Amino acid sequence: MVVLSDDEVALIRALLTAVRAIKVRDIDKVLVILAKGEKRGTPPSPAVRLD
């Protein structure tokens, strides 16, 4: 068994909540943007809008 501190538990809970809030459609859009960047040989822009 692993013993976690209160801070570690809070961090894991926050990460899981954030992941749960991500919509599949948003993930698909990001994957398409990344794939287009790879085809052109340029890195994707860090300020990509998902809406």
pLDDT in tens, the chain (51 residues): 788 899 999 999 998 888 888 888 888 888 888 888 767 665 555 555 555
| Identity of residue 21 | A
Please report the pLDDT score of residue 37 as a whole number. 74
Q: Would you kindly state where each structural domain of the chain is located, as residue ranges? A: 23-51
Please report the pLDDT score of residue 43 as a whole number. 56
The DSSP code sequence of the chain is -----HHHHHHHHHHHHHHHHS-HHHHHHHHHHHHHHHHHTSPPPSS----
Please report the pLDDT score of residue 7 as a whole number. 92
Give the number of other CB atoms < 10 A from CB of residue 34.
13
Q: How much is the pTM?
A: 0.45
Report d(CA 40, CA 36) in Å as an integer: 6
